[in-house]
């Protein structure tokens, strides 16, 4: 299914591969009132070559996946605490880049600038891509940039959400020996516009300008690290660490109140992965290895293609690794199996947002009424005592 045929917003992840591949500039991206971009075909320029449809990850994503039965998995934490501190999980991404950084390698991934714009870029310095930004990234012409580098004979390590990795592979239309793709397990994200508005709201409440917003904060609060929190730095020097109860954006993000419509229906919540390598949080790993604490950041890694199977030995020199079967990993990490559902009050939130209701009141009143996944699980636990 592709939005280009049916105009169903659930069938477009906004990757812009169709926009980038069109040689006739027949596609424009239009942004809706929530800040999500969708392609529109200009019939006067369109030659009906169908290239745009061929690169759509919703239409053809299944064709570029690896069979998980051949994947090799491991749980890992980087030995260097500085790397762990600057990573979302256990620093697997940094370790992978360190191992591959041979002077002829470019890294493409998602970065954030001083105006909090989240976008794809390509660089010889992988460090600008560290840490998850829980916002829908603007792919920003990345597919052409990656292709140009590959054609020049440079190695490229492209890391992104699975839909964007599938989009790149479909865009390239052939396998490049010098390309390594990394999909970070993803449960969806809200738009840049909604992120910006939450930050503006926070600035107004604090009467202070935000100069930095750091996701997945690893600074200890009351002696404990909780990587689900964020750190905000203000212009007047104030710095606060907040979790999803106290930070407006994290509250909004974690409640699935308005992630992109397609993030509930994408075809990448599957054990068969699209990247040569898959990175994720090793949630629930303490059930197998009680000495590991996922709240401090522990990585789980799947090596899915033959191209990357020898990298694990190199990574083992830099990371403490723990054995796990791919089947066990799939059992532990539900995002490898099923979509994180939309909040039951998503529509109510959107209706009030479009009416211009105060953002905090809208988020909080929608959440009061809603049954999100955590609440459903808590109710089930009460009823079934398990
Ligand atoms: C929107 C989003 C939702 C996620 N949801 C889950 C989940 O439900 N379960 C789970 O196990 N893991 C999830 N992750 C992955 C997890 O948070 C870590 O990114 C992953 O484990 C890698 O961590 P690391 O320590 O190895 O490296 P890090 O240094 O943290 O690596 C960050 C990597 O993420 C990429 N990245 C950052 N922001 C984005 C973005 N907005 N879009 C696409 N790619 C991005 C960068 O290019 C880089 O490769 C999610 C990530 C994102 C971005």
CB 316 within 8 A of CB 75: no
* Cα-based angle 255, 13, 141 (whole degrees, multiple of 5): 120
pLDDT of residue 253: 95
| Distance from residue 386's CA to the centre of ligand 1 (Å) | 30
Q: What is the pLDDT of residues 192-203, one digit of tens each?
A: 999 999 999 999
pLDDT of residue 385: 61
Question: Beta-strand (E) ranges in the chain?
Answer: 27-31, 37-41, 72-78, 105-112, 118-123, 155-160, 179-184, 210-214, 230-234, 239-242, 277-281, 299-303, 319-323
Domain boundaries defined on the chain: 3-62, 64-189+260-336, 192-258+343-384
Residues of the chain with pLDDT under 70: 371-377, 380-381, 384-386
pLDDT of residue 319: 98
CATH class of segment(s) 3-62: alpha beta
Query: Closest ligand 1 atom, CA of 112?
Result: 38
Cβ neighbours for 167, distance < 8 A, ≥ 6 positions apart: 13, 15, 16, 17, 55, 56, 57, 139, 143
CB 344 within 8 A of CB 367: no
Sign of CA dihedral 142, 145, 151, 153: negative
Query: In whole angstroms, what is the distance from residue 258 CA to residue 261 CA?
Result: 8
Q: Find out whether the beta carbon of 167 lies less than 6 Å from any atom of ligand 1.
A: no
Q: Would you say the CATH fold of 64-189+260-336 matches that of 3-62?
A: no
| Distance from residue 141's CA to the centre of ligand 1 (Å) | 20
pLDDT of residue 226: 87
Q: What is the pLDDT of residues 52-83, one digit of tens each?
A: 999 999 999 999 999 999 999 999 999 999 99
Query: Closest ligand 1 atom, CA of 89?
Result: 25
pLDDT of residue 227: 87
Q: Ligand 1: which of 88, 105, 195 to mutate, judged by most atoms within 8 Å of the beta carbon?
A: 88
pLDDT of residue 374: 64
Q: What is the pLDDT of residues 233-256, one digit of tens each?
A: 999 999 999 998 899 999 999 999
| Distance from residue 42's CA to the centre of ligand 1 (Å) | 35
Phi-psi region of 24 (alpha: psi -120 to 50; beta: other; left: phi over 0): alpha
Q: What is the pLDDT of residues 342-357, one digit of tens each?
A: 999 999 999 999 999 9
Smallest CA separation from ligand 1 atom 20, residue: 280
Q: Ligand 1: which of 132, 186, 218 to mutate, judged by most atoms within 8 Å of the beta carbon?
A: 132
pLDDT of residue 372: 60
pTM listed for this prediction: 0.95
Q: Find out whether the beta carbon of 257 lies less than 6 Å from any atom of ligand 1.
A: no
Q: What is the pLDDT of residues 356-373, one digit of tens each?
A: 999 999 999 999 877 665
From the list 82, 169, 167, the residue with the least C-alpha distance to 127 is 82
- What is the H or E stretch that residue 381 is in? helix 373-384
Q: How many CB atoms lie within 10 A of CB 104?
A: 12
Q: Find out whether the beta carbon of 191 lies less than 6 Å from any atom of ligand 1.
A: no
Q: Ligand 1: which of 184, 254, 296, 336 to mutate, judged by most atoms within 8 Å of the beta carbon?
A: 184
| Distance from residue 90's CA to the centre of ligand 1 (Å) | 11
CATH classification number, 64-189+260-336, choose in 1.10.3470, 3.40.50, 3.40.640, 3.90.550: 3.40.640
Q: Find out whether the beta carbon of 140 lies less than 6 Å from any atom of ligand 1.
A: no
pLDDT of residue 139: 98
């Amino acid at each position: 299914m592709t939005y280009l045929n049916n105009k169903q917003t659930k069938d477009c992840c906004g990757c812009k591969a169709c926009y980038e591949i069109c040689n006739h500039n027949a596609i424009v991206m239009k942004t809706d009132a929530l800040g999500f971009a969708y392609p529109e075909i200009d019939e006067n320029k369109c030659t009906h070559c169908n290239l745009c449809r061929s690169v759509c990850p919703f239409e053809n994503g299944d064709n570029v996946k690896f069979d998980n039965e051949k994947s090799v998995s491991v749980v890992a934490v980087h030995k260097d605490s500085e790397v762990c501190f600057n990573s979302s999980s256990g620093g697997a991404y940094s370790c992978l880049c360190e191992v591959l950084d041979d002077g002829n390698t470019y890294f493409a991934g998602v970065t954030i600038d001083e105006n909090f714009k989240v976008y794809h870029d390509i660089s010889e310095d992988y460090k600008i891509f560290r840490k998850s930004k829980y916002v829908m990234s603007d792919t920003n012409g990345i597919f052409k940039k990656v292709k140009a580098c590959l054609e020049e004979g440079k190695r490229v390590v492209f890391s992104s959400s699975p839909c964007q990795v599938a989009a790149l592979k479909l865009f390239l239309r052939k396998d490049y020996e010098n390309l390594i793709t990394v999909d970070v397990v993803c449960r969806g994200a809200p738009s840049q516009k909604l992120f910006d508005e939450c930050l503006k709201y926070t600035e107004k409440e604090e009467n202070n300008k935000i100069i930095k917003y750091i996701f997945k904060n690893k600074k200890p609060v009351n002696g404990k690290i909780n990587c689900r929190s964020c750190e905000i730095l203000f212009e007047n020097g104030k710095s606060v660490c907040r979790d999803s109860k106290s930070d407006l954006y994290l509250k909004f993000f974690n409640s699935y109140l308005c992630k992109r419509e397609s993030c509930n229906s994408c075809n990448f919540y599957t054990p068969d992965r699209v990247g040569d390598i898959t990175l994720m949080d090793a949630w629930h790993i303490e059930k197998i290895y009680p000495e590991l604490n996922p709240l401090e950041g522990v990585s789980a890694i799947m090596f899915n293609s033959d191209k990357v199977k020898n990298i694990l030995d190199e990574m083992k020199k830099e990371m403490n690794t723990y054995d796990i079967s791919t089947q066990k990993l799939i059992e532990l990490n539900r995002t490898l199996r099923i979509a994180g559902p939309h909040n039951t009050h998503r529509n109510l939130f959107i209706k009030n947002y479009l009416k211009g209701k105060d953002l905090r009141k809208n988020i909080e009143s929608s959440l009061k009424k809603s049954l999100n996944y955590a609440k459903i699980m808590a109710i089930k636990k009460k009823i079934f005592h398990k």
